[in-house]
Amino acid sequence: MIARKYLYLIALAREKHFGRAAASCHVSPSTLSAAIRDLESELGVAIVERGQQFSGLTPEGLRVVRYAEVAASHAADLKQELAQLRDGGLSGQIRIGVIPTALTAVAAYSAAIVRRHPHITLQIVSLPTGDILTQLRRYELEAGVIYLRSATDPDLEVVRVWEEDHVLLTTDRDAVEGRDEISWREAASFNLCLLSPDMQNRRTIDETFAALGCHPAPTMETNSIVSLLAHVCSGAWSSIVPRSVLELIGSPEAVSVLRLTEPSVAWATGVVTLARDPVSPSVAALRAVAQALTASFGNDE
């Protein structure tokens, strides 16, 4: 449905290395290189910058890749739609990128998807917001779960699923004895471990502190929620995480959980997909499940 040489080009653009691209396509590097040269001859343009090693695509090559990605995506959508008509249900793999802070909360969404579509296979990948949006636009993901403040571009379709506040986690019982909430300003004085600055959650936390004139200096940073929880449990650090992180896995033993106030900040999280016409069966299914989940959470706008 789409010439294999275009799929080889998509792989090369993704891997940025002839050997890795060939391996991902299960062909030899010489086969992949010959296919790219054949494509250049067919189109009458240089696609790859020439050199001893892969050094990038030409402007024309980037344009060809973009069209190839769209064509490959539509071909996959058609196969899926035909299979759905034949088999009477959605099947195949659906890929969802999820920001680290939503990896536990997204389980409710995943479970709802497979209940409604038991023949699909889900692949949940932990990624920063920027990577999720990039891979959506390259058709490498069907959907993403992100903070919706990052999903304002017109080529994106969003379904707001839940709002959440953040909590302080600490083992310093003496400092918080008998309390169930704490101000952001007070939280700034704790020895904090936080997500790394490239994460949207961290940038939002920093903005909240900055608006109060506070500039805490975390002494440990990580891109893993599991690592944050482990470091809090060690007793040496406190942390700030979305409350949803704890809703499915529970609070670690000996850790106090305090709602952050002054200000009370709620961040909307939801499902984002590409605004496409026609909509693929998998994307339509993901949107429908997200909308149903939104209604069950009482978050309809």
In this predicted model, what pLDDT tens digit does every residue of 35-49 receive, in sequence order? 999 999 999 999 998
- Gap between the Cα atoms of 129 and 133, Å rounded: 6
Q: What is the mean pLDDT of the chain?
A: 89
For the stretch 249-295, pLDDT in tens is 777 778 999 999 999 888 899 999 999 888 889 999 999 999 998 86
Domains 89-163+268-297 and 166-265 equal at CATH topology level: yes
Give 150's DSSP letter: G
What is each CA distance from 174 to 46, 102, 276, 287, in whole angstroms? Answer: 68, 30, 54, 46
Summarize pLDDT for 188-218 with one digit per residue, the tens. Answer: 999 999 999 988 889 989 999 999 999 999 9
Helix 4-15 vs helix 29-43: crossing angle, to nearest 10: 110
Q: Percentage of the chain with pLDDT > 70?
A: 96
Q: CA nearest 6: which of 19, 20, 21, 28? A: 21
pLDDT, position 291: 93
Asked if the model's pLDDT at residue 1 lies above 70, the reply is no
Structural domain spans, the chain: 4-69, 89-163+268-297, 166-265
Question: Is residue 13's pLDDT more than 70?
Answer: yes
CATH of domain 166-265: 3.40.190.290
Topology of domain 89-163+268-297, per CATH?
A: D-Maltodextrin-Binding Protein; domain 2 (3.40.190)
Predicted local confidence at residue 301, as pLDDT: 45
Helix, strand and coil in the chain, % to nearest 5: 45, 20, 30
pLDDT tens string 137-183: 988 999 999 999 899 999 999 999 988 889 999 999 888 888 999 99
Give the per-residue pLDDT at 298.
Answer: 47
Q: Which residues of 115-149 are buried (b: 16+ CB within 10 A; e: fewer)?
A: eebeebebeeebbbbebbbebbeebbbbbbbbbbe
* CATH number of the structural domain 4-69: 1.10.10.10
pLDDT tens-digit series, residues 45-98: 999 987 767 888 999 999 999 888 888 888 888 887 787 777 778 888 899 999
In percent, the amount of the chain with pLDDT more than 90 equals 56
Helices (H) and strands (E) in the chain, counts: 12, 11
